[in-house]
Amino acid sequence: MATAVTKPLPTETTAITLFSSPGKRRAVLSLLLLLFTLAVYNPAAHDGFVTFDDPVYITSNTQVQSGLNWNTVKWAFRSTEGANWFPMTWLSHALDCQLFHANPSGHHYTSVILHAFSVILLFLLLDIATEMFWRAWMVAALFALHPINVESVAWLSERKSVLCTLFFLLTLLSYSWYSRQPNLKRYGLVALMFALALASKPMAVTLPFVLLLLDYWPLRRVAVGAKGDQRTWTRLILEKLPLLLLSAASCIVTMIVQKAGGAIHSNYPFRDRALNAIVSYTAYLRKAVWPNDLAAFYPHPQHPPSYWKMALAVLVLLAVSYAVATFRSKRYLVVGWLWFLGTLVPVIGLVQVGEQAMADRYAYIPFIGLFVATVWAMGDLIAHKRIPTAYVVMASALTISGLSARTHVQVGYWKDTITLWTHAIEVTENNDMAHDSLGAELIDQGRIREAATHFEAAAAANPKDAFSQLDLGVCEKRQGHLEAAMQRYQAALRLSSEPSLRATAFGNIGSVYRATGDYAKARESYESALAMIPNNKFAYIGLGIIAQKTGDYAGAVEFYSKAVKVEPSGPEYLLLAQALEKTGRRQEADAAYDKAHANSRDWTATEQAVNHLLHE
């Protein structure tokens, strides 16, 4: 009787001969990941700054612009700008300004390199923990090249995401090292890396939960079903107690800072937020599989989701959870699914921070869990079905190529503000934020009528949108329709209780009164703006112009001096120089003229801006 010849399983050990040692293997595969990541994200070098939060974090932040110095370090640890506490992020931006100044290419390359380092760390973590290097490499490649991560990498204001994830993965690697020989020194390194992750972005608060998942798989520090298993879990949870205390402290600080900064919104009842959270989970799953409609902003629905949409979302989540429970012997399925569900909890919208329904940047860490579960499940299926290696390689190459092409295109949408918001309008519906942002950029370019159409679209999409009313008022004023502008500004005040928006509205009302010569009401409006937001540069300028027009040049110097302390830019220094000259303080005026030139990229534009302010 002939002996049957059995085809060997396509295990990873058959490919190990390609490398002479694990160290060289990891070096080669890490280098390959680095090259792929840099090649796909290379277009980011041609992207500029956008007006979506970049002024707050970089371009208009005078402390960050001053570079990395001791004053910036002290400010970074005290600052609550951006309605968050993340000193490591501020220091990262300051270092970029120190190195690259106002050149966005350098800033972008820093984010790309940080992302590439995280890709390599993820590969090393999984390879060391599982010794299944091809699967580890594929997970890292998906993380590197999936287009949903473009927002975190290509949007400079999301430096906090890539920096937090870098320290997040360093924490996991440190923990893997600690688990092999637990001691206080190694635990201290874990705690330090975790603290740096929290100091980059508070979304890392779920990390102790992730460490418990790693205990289950791949570290296997607990044997499910074994005698004494309950005591083991208790010990592992107690082991995380110091880290849980760090998470709790970060949550408390974040809630206080975000509430003080007006970032936490109570516009939506908890029921609506909970329903949106369930639908968002399934929307993230769809984008993981088919990322064809990614946008910088997804508007929160004005109404709860329909019954059929809600039922479908619940059905999908229950079906996946049932499948994971059924095949729970495959521990990677449990870990991957719970990683995805758990790390999204802080940003799923149960506590509404911002106006978005969901955001691509929130998937940056959670999708790692999906990638792990998918790749390991496919790996087991390939081994069980004895699928030829050639087919596996071809499918993997097609997947990586498809994601790379889509990511390459997605990076291009962050080229500038116009491109970013035009794309968002194309792939979403009723996106008042996108229309408002695009309109604001068009105003800056002098395209007033085009801008007005977008503000009208924003108002139609969301009748409660105060920003569209505020900006329609700007359009009316630019066209000389002062009465119509006043009505729009007052409508914005009625629609919003947000301090910065109300301060802007009061300032704009003051400019209308100033244009009509009613200086008393103009002063009153500017003072109201200062009451809402102290050290309001535009209110100081408005009060300075009124003082100058009424011959009170000493008063003008006082207000312009306050304005340049808030933001030392060219127009403010030029106004100060002219007022100082009128008071006969020639030496101080010359110094202010020098600073006006030093802070102006375009002197003609600076002079035009000042003339416009003085003669509008």
DSSP state of 354: S
User: What is the Cα gyration radius of the chain?
Assistant: 28
- Rounded CA-CA distance 325/285 in Å is 18
- Rounded CA-CA distance 599/62 in Å is 11
3-state helix, strand, coil in the chain (%, to 5): 75, 0, 25
* 228-262 pLDDT, tens digit each: 566 689 999 999 999 999 999 999 998 888 877 76
Q: What is the pLDDT of residue 19?
A: 58
Q: How many CB atoms lie within 10 A of CB 492?
A: 25
DSSP for 443-475?
HHTT-HHHHHHHHHHHHHH-TT-HHHHHHHHHH
Q: What is the pLDDT of residue 228?
A: 53
> Alpha-carbon torsion 233, 239, 245, 251, what sign?
negative
Residues pairing with 358 in the sheet? 298
- Rounded CA-CA distance 33/49 in Å is 27
Cα–Cα distance list, 426 to 282, 337, 402, 420, 451 (Å):
22, 32, 22, 10, 17
Q: What is the pLDDT of residue 16?
A: 46
Cα–Cα distance list, 125 to 156, 243, 529 (Å):
27, 20, 52
Token representation of residue 6: 């059995």
- Rounded CA-CA distance 139/121 in Å is 11
Mean pLDDT per 10-residue interval, the chain, length 616 residues? 39 51 91 97 95 93 93 94 92 97 95 98 97 96 98 97 98 97 96 98 97 96 66 90 96 86 72 92 96 94 86 96 96 98 94 87 98 97 92 94 96 97 96 96 95 97 94 95 96 92 95 94 96 91 93 93 88 90 91 87 83 79
Are 373 and 341 contacting, i.e. CB atoms less than 8 angstroms apart?
no
Q: What is the pLDDT of residue 1?
A: 35
Domains of the chain and any CATH numbers:
13-412 (no CATH), 536-616 (1.25.40.10)
* 486-529 pLDDT, tens digit each: 999 999 999 998 888 999 999 999 999 999 999 999 999 999 99
* 336-356 pLDDT, tens digit each: 999 999 999 999 988 877 789
Token representation of residue 447: 């395209």
Token representation of residue 292: 């064809």
- Rounded CA-CA distance 442/372 in Å is 43
HSE-up of residue 586 (Cα within 13 Å, Cβ side): 0
Torsion of CA 78, 83, 84, 89, to 10 degrees: -80
Token representation of residue 270: 């908890």
Using a CB cutoff of 8 Å and minimum separation of 24, what contacts does 105-110 make?
105/45, 105/46, 107/49, 107/58, 107/156, 108/44, 108/45, 108/47, 108/154, 108/156, 109/44, 109/45, 110/159
Stated pTM of the model? 0.90
